[in-house]
Amino acid sequence: MPNQYPLYVNGKMHTVQADPETSLLSVLREDLNLTGSKYGCGEGQCGACTVLLDGKPTRSCITPLGSILKQKITTIEGLEKEGRLHPMQEAFLAEDALQCGYCTAGMIVSAVGLLNHNAAPTEPEIVTAMQGNLCRCGTYRRIIKAVQRAAGVQRRAAR
């Protein structure tokens, strides 16, 4: 039975009508036309659908709409501010940390989530935080460099 759900996405309030079991990913892509988050496995295993819920990386393909209670949702589309890319997006470009790009939105969102609670992650910490995000093109080394670059930029900006 469809219900109405208020959703706070990328700084804006939306109301969607859907069944409580509908995945957050479906609602983002189909109801709100936010197609940056990708459908990969649909089972919480690949990370292509990652969004931030209150700043924490979350697999939106396995997150039922009915389980989200007043949490702030941030998708890849919500990272740029006033026309400027997020430092993590800039770092992925600078380090050439993508090939086909299918995993990239989820990678960037997961990496932003990592820096939200660890401003200076070590390489093993980056690997651990990102290991649920799969890249079939094999750009992992460059992704690690991009996360390190963005962490440095953010630390310098915070001084």
Question: In this complex, which beta carbon is closest to ligand FES, that of residue 45 or of residue 128?
Answer: 45
Min. distance of Cβ 132 from ligand FES in angstroms? Answer: 8
Is residue 41 near ligand FES by the rule CB under 6 A?
Answer: yes
Question: In this complex, which beta carbon is closest to ligand FES, that of residue 59 or of residue 142?
Answer: 59
Question: In this complex, which beta carbon is closest to ligand FES, that of residue 63 or of residue 89?
Answer: 63
Is residue 64 near ligand FES by the rule CB under 6 A?
Answer: no
The three state secondary structure string of the chain is: CCEEEEEEECCEEEEEEECCCCEHHHHHHHHCCCCCCCCCCCCCCCCCCEEEECCEEEEHHHCEHHHCCCCEEECHHHCCECCECCHHHHHHHHCCCCCCCCCHHHHHHHHHHHHHHCCCCCHHHHHHHHCCCCCCCCCHHHHHHHHHHHHHHHHHHHC
Member of 10, 40, 68, 89 binding ligand FES (CB under 6 A): 40
Question: In this complex, which beta carbon is closest to ligand FES, that of residue 87 or of residue 106?
Answer: 106
Min. distance of Cβ 50 from ligand FES in angstroms? Answer: 7
